[in-house]
Chain A
Amino acid sequence: MKKSLIVLLMLALAVSMVFANAAAETGAGKKTVLNVMSFTDEVPKMIERYFELHPEEAAKYEVNTTIIATTDGLYQPALDEALAQGGAGAPDIYCAEAAFILKYSQGDASQYAATYKSLGIDVDKLIKEADIAQYTIDIGSRNGELVGLGYQATGGAFIYNRSVAKDAFGSDDPAVVAEKIGAGTQSWDKFFEAAAELRKKGYAIVSGDGDIWHAIENSSDKGWIVNGKLYIDPKREAFLDLSKKLKDNDYHNDTQDWQEGWYADMKEAGAKKVLGFYGPAWLINYVMAGNSGDTYGDWGVCASNVGFFWGGTWVLANKDTTKKDIVAKIITWITLDYSETGLQYFWANGTLNGEGGTKDTVASGTVMAKSDGKLDFLNNQNMFEAFVPANKYANGKNLTQYDETINTYWRDQVRQYTAGAKTREQAIADFKTQVKENLDVIVE
């Protein structure tokens, strides 16, 4: 029995080595390999579509994709490792999310990014013609040179449940709801008045404190690090109090974003029915639509009281790539092509893989102007009406390369404070400790 086990083991080892070898060999066929690294399958699928639309290129190239989700902070170490090692296995095209893009465009890892100009892309001309949103350029530039661009425009608005609005405010018209939450005021005062009103009728205004956090985070004047030191912008510090206010007055369902309870509120399955969610267009199409259950079609979108942007993916190229040609073509197609055959047009109209796909707001103003943002999720409202103006509030100047990590610490401490587990001072002190001891940031 034991002998056969050993034999079996060796056989298995031999077989798997053959397989592994074979798997590695297929890369060395007659096609050139293009390495792509991302944290979702969005960009890889775009590249796939590009090759479908350009079969003459498809014949020459083979795409090797690596997708590692950002959970548990696994994506960045993997990407960093791949970039630092270099060589044939390094990614030619890689993606970074808003939470950490700065590290790759301006920070510690920006040395690996190629400028779009060096790839042969006529940046200045295309940016002007495509009318690309300024904030995505700001974020993606290193010393004034563009190294990365986002394909989405993720300005945020307020997405609300029409039935709840009708019952609480008497109308579900976007203008009315916008007025109720104080659109254009850049403050939360009217928001809380509306919250009280909703509470009286047994509704929650938002699902959890995460919903107002993104608006607060990106509307702050300065980022987390100023002159190399940790800085807590007063607007972000106010989140402690605003979150507590929400909790103490029972204005929300105390859910945590990206957890089950938060999703449940999208289909009115939570403790109280929720008025709405703050978010950009992708929140609607990639999160809410699939989780809205029976409430699908009963939503609307209006301007937010505090302008912000949330999320977005930037596409970068490796400065040591040996396939500059195709990389330039793909990146241009994704981020700067404003024609009707460019990615942005497909993305905005949901026609990337045929009709009826999910729509989104894109970075090119030119494309937005000629696209149709009507969604049946929103009872046929044109979402661009709310999202395009929202983009002008997007501030690309208050990000840092450690945002992903620092935000996690901050949210953790705020949660402890609102749950009553520690005092406000203690929460701030503990937050500072976390940043000081895990990151190379000076904390006073």
Chain B
Amino acid sequence: MSKSITRVKRVGKPFVVLMYAVCIFFAIMSLFPFVVMIINSTRNTYQVQQSALSFIPSTHLLENLKILTSKDIFHPLLGFLNSLIISSGTTLCAVYFSTLTAYAIVAYQWKLRNAFFTMILAVMMIPAQVTSIGFYQMIYRVHMTNNFLPLILPAIASPSMVFFMRQYMIPSLPMEIIESARVDGCREFRIFNQIVIPMVKPAMATQGIFCFVASWNQLFLPQILLTRKNKYTMPIMVSLLKGDIYKTEYGAVYLGLALTVLPLFVVYFVLSKYIIAGVALGGVKG
């Protein structure tokens, strides 16, 4: 196989320096807006007006928080809860039912199987925005605007997740175990829930994380369906920060922005390894 000859040509020193320089530049570029956002959250309006750019945090965090919440307009906690409900519901529906559907495609031989899978492939590429006007009208007619269900239930049909789970299951599904479970008299549904699901947990978890983040960040559909302020999700709350009322409260605006992405920061730093691994997995299989 591989020879352990040190024939590998090493790259010259100056080039290495260049590479590090470029990488560091991009790292700074990626972090810069967030750093500014966090630091400016702790400074008050006057300081920000004097010099908008500063790397030294100040002590006005609580003050800004008070301004932010005093006007009864921006409710980060409410937005957080709403986003949490919708995203969790969406993720659970999507992950569970996609795995179920993928299992149906992989584990059973049935006449329409291939046609079904082809349909899923085709449908994967239709972006949600194209269906939105009809969707909105439909929900409006049944008086279900400002309701979370129309945002959660559609996730039961998630073509791209079905595709991914199928790709994952094909090499990794242990048919012998399933067979023996059948011999033991297990019902199919129980087999799915108690044997198959534990087997594909890693894939479910990774897809779950993505689904959660994507749902959390969704703006278009929630914005047209949820018009009552007490139903606003986080991304919609962000737009309230641009209002005249906060126009001159620069410190508070930065703090508001920071609050809307705080949960994402936490999730990301705790799970970054899994998230990145998941992206990689998605890329290869997808």
A and B directly contacting (CB within 8 A): yes
Using a CB–CB cutoff of 8 Å, the interface residues on chain A facing chain B are 2-3, 5-6, 9-10, 12-13, 16-17, 19-20, 23, 40-41, 44, 65-72, 74, 77-78, 81-82, 85, 89, 258-260, 263-264, 290-291
Q: Which residues of B contact A67 (CB under 8 A)?
A: 71-73, 229
Q: Is the interface of A mostly helix, strand, loop or mixed?
A: helix
Q: Which residues of A contact B158 (CB under 8 A)?
A: none
Interface size on B, residues (CB 8 A): 35
Answer whether A85 and B242 are a contact pair too, CB < 8 Å, given A41-B73, A65-B72, A67-B72.
no
Q: Which residues of B contact A13 (CB under 8 A)?
A: 84-85, 88-89, 92
Q: Is there contact, CB below 8 Å, between A41 and B72?
A: yes
Closest chain-B Cβ to A313's Cβ sits at a distance in Å of 13
Q: Which residues of A contact B242 (CB under 8 A)?
A: 69, 71-72
Closest chain-A Cβ to B286's Cβ sits at a distance in Å of 20
Q: Is there contact, CB below 8 Å, between B243 and A70?
A: yes
Q: Which residues of B contact A65 (CB under 8 A)?
A: 72
Answer whether A291 and B72 are a contact pair too, CB < 8 Å, given A5-B205, A71-B239.
no
> Roughly how many angstroms separate A290 CA and B92 CA in the complex, as a whole number?
49
Name the one of A5, A69, A77, A290 contacting B243, with C-beta atoms under 8 angstroms.
A69
Name the one of A68, A89, A258, A260 contacting B146, with C-beta atoms under 8 angstroms.
A89
Answer whether A258 and B92 are a contact pair too, CB < 8 Å, given A41-B73, A71-B239.
no
Q: Is there contact, CB below 8 Å, between A78 and B228?
A: yes
Q: Is there contact, CB below 8 Å, between A44 and B228?
A: no
Q: Does B13 reach chain A (CB closer than 8 Å)?
A: no
Answer whether A82 and B73 are a contact pair too, CB < 8 Å, given A71-B243, A74-B239.
no
0/1 per residue, B185-209, Cβ < 8 Å to A? 0000000000000000110010010
Q: Which residues of A contact B230 (CB under 8 A)?
A: 23, 66
> Roughly how many angstroms separate A258 CA and B92 CA in the complex, as a whole number?
44
Task: Give 6 new A-B contacts, CB below 8 A, not counting A41-B245, A67-B72.
Answer: A9-B91, A13-B89, A13-B92, A19-B81, A66-B229, A89-B146
> Roughly how many angstroms separate A85 CA and B85 CA in the complex, as a whole number?
23
Q: Is there contact, CB below 8 Å, between B73 and A69?
A: yes
Closest chain-A Cβ to B162's Cβ sits at a distance in Å of 19
Q: Does B247 reach chain A (CB closer than 8 Å)?
A: yes
Name the one of B71, B88, B229 contacting A10, with C-beta atoms under 8 angstroms.
B88
Q: Does B227 reach chain A (CB closer than 8 Å)?
A: yes
Q: Is there contact, CB below 8 Å, between A291 and B248?
A: yes
